Amino acid sequence: MTHTLIDAARELAPSFGARAQEWDKTRSYCWQNIDDLVSAGIMGMSIPGEYGGRGASFLDVVSVVEEIARSCALTARVVVEGNLGGISAVMAYGSAAQKAFCAPLVLAGDKPAICITEPDAGSAASQMQTTARKKGGKYILNGTKHWITGGGVSKLHLVFARVMNEAGIEQGIGGFILFADPRSGDCLAGFEVVRREHTLGLCGMPEAELRFDNVEVDKKWLLEPPSGLKHGFADLMSAYNSQRVGAGAVALGIAAGAHEHAKRYLLDRKQFGRPLAEFQGLQWMLADMDTQIHAARLLLRDAAQSRGPDGSAFPDMTKAARAKLFASEMAIKVVNDALQMFGARGYGDQEPLERMYRDVRMFTIGGGTAQVLRTQIAGSILGIKTPQSRDGYMRLSDTTPVAAE
Ligand code: FAD
Ligand code: COA
């Protein structure tokens, strides 16, 4: 089964590559590719069979993501969010009704939007201000989220919010499943896509600001994390580790694609009467790129197969952080080196390198910055919690420090 999906991804990759420049130049979402992903069974491949998916593992998903990202990072990001992050949180923590509602939408091509970041809570995500206050059988949602991938094209939204009881006392952080289809205008009252960012890369993917102004959500759409709302943030972030691994796989795929282009060019292009491939300075660059790509792939596979403590359904936090950190920094360097090998041709848009160079840049920022991930990894190594807020305090972790590997 796994091979069928990876083979399908390989078969689709050339047509995705052929259209990638068009999405980039026109800043349009890759609807045509999504139809192909749906037909191939790649959208929602991680959803269990009883809900219509294929029950594919995280490892299967990251392998498919890498294949697609080699030719179109935009489409690969759709595959990430169509299988990991928000939808995987719903399938692991959700009620039967929540799963039965969300799964068919994703299988039909919807890429859920995960809504965590706010204007005043980026890296400090736990300081989010969006609230959901209970009122009878509903919650009233208020707040603003920004840089939401797919905002304006996604129908499903998983919105992280501080949950208050009727008296306004905070119970913890939970996720709310919101259906809103801004394209057809079928939105909950008070839900608004405020604006779209103009981005450096991945230009076909909307990154949008969303506002919730007294949005009424039935209480059945509260995604209750398994250990209750008090530990809700940690459980939701634990589910988010799957998306971090997915983001690393997109970065890896872009790097692998750039490396492939560079190899072809070194063999084709001649200077001083010889193929560039004969110059040792370039050979060593290519060898370093190859080595780094392989190392990232191993870290990502290790993370995808790992599980966090206490029977978690999701990748281990430290392994996910390590893999995403390494893959994202590696990919930025590898794509930069590949572009260098093309000389002026790499700088123009006849080759895909300039697009890949812009596309890859986000991966040390979105989904937890390189600095935040280093802090998490260091905390695990040392066995200490290092809250970053000014009134925070350093304390011994409840968990054992990670063993050296
Ligand atoms: P800030 O937190 O303001 O950080 C600014 C700089 O300071 C960074 O270099 C950071 O590393 C550093 N810094 C901050 N705190 C510390 C610290 N304690 N120690 C050391 N350095 C620190 N969010 C969503 O919720 N959903 C999405 O779908 C989504 N998609 C995104 C897509 C893209 C393309 C991008 C770029 C972002 C996306 N985000 C999304 C938001 C993303 O998660 C945040 O940008 C990220 O968490 C960082 O927050 P910030 O941009 O506010 O930076
Ligand atoms: N996986 C599992 N658990 C996680 C986690 C993760 N990725 N990140 C945090 N947690 C848990 C912590 O272990 C802690 O649990 P505890 O209460 O049992 O000790 C709890 O969540 C709070 O984490 P802590 O590191 O103490 O939080 P903080 O208030 O200092 O906030 C973060 C720091 C977690 C917000 C910051 O490290 C972070 O990840 N920022 C980036 C946010 C992000 O990725 N946004 C992406 C949007 S798409």
Q: What is the pLDDT of residue 394?
A: 56
Choose the residue to mutate in 123, 243, 394 for probing ligand 1, maximizing ligand atoms within 8 Å of C-beta: 123
Query: How much distance in Å is there from the Cα of 234 to the middle of ligand 2?
Result: 6
What is the location of CATH 1.10.540.10 in the chain?
A: 2-107
Query: How far apart are alpha carbons 76 and 98 in whole angstroms?
Result: 25
Q: What is the pLDDT of residue 380?
A: 95
Query: How much distance in Å is there from the Cα of 372 to the middle of ligand 1?
Result: 9
Dihedral sign, Cα of residue 162, residue 399, residue 246, residue 235 = negative
Query: How much distance in Å is there from the Cα of 366 to the middle of ligand 1?
Result: 6
Is the CB of residue 122 below 6 angstroms from any atom belonging to ligand 1?
yes
- For 135-175, the pLDDT digits (tens) are 999 999 999 999 999 999 999 999 999 999 999 999 999 99
Question: What residue owns the CA closest to ligand 1's atom 18?
Answer: 388
Q: What's the fold here for domain 231-396?
A: Butyryl-CoA Dehydrogenase, subunit A; domain 3 (1.20.140)
Choose the residue to mutate in 369, 371, 372 for probing ligand 1, maximizing ligand atoms within 8 Å of C-beta: 369
Is the CB of residue 91 below 6 angstroms from any atom belonging to ligand 1?
no
Q: What is the pLDDT of residue 398?
A: 53
What is the location of CATH 1.20.140.10 in the chain?
A: 231-396
Query: How far apart are alpha carbons 167 and 318 in whole angstroms?
Result: 38
Confidence of residue 310 (pLDDT cuts 50, 70, 90): confident
Q: What is the pLDDT of residue 390?
A: 78
- For 167-223, the pLDDT digits (tens) are 999 999 999 999 999 999 999 999 999 999 999 999 999 999 999 999 999 999 999
Confidence of residue 225 (pLDDT cuts 50, 70, 90): confident
Query: How much distance in Å is there from the Cα of 56 to the middle of ligand 2?
Result: 27
Is the CB of residue 243 below 6 angstroms from any atom belonging to ligand 2?
no
Ligand minimally distant from the alpha carbon of residue 306: 2
Q: What's the fold here for domain 2-107?
A: Butyryl-Coa Dehydrogenase, subunit A; domain 1 (1.10.540)
Ligand 1 atom nearest the C-alpha of 151 is: 28
Q: What is the pLDDT of residue 391?
A: 73
Is the CB of residue 397 below 6 angstroms from any atom belonging to ligand 2?
no
* Average pLDDT of the chain, as a whole number: 95
Q: What is the mean pLDDT of residues 299-322?
A: 96
Ligand 1 atom nearest the C-alpha of 202 is: 34
Question: What residue owns the CA closest to ligand 2's atom 28?
Answer: 387
Q: Specify whether domain 113-227 bears CATH 3.40.109.10.
A: no
- Residue 47: count other Cβ atoms within 10 Å of its Cβ: 25
Ligand minimally distant from the alpha carbon of residue 153: 1
At residue 403, does pLDDT exceed 70?
Answer: no
Is the CB of residue 367 below 6 angstroms from any atom belonging to ligand 1?
yes
Q: What is the pLDDT of residue 7?
A: 96
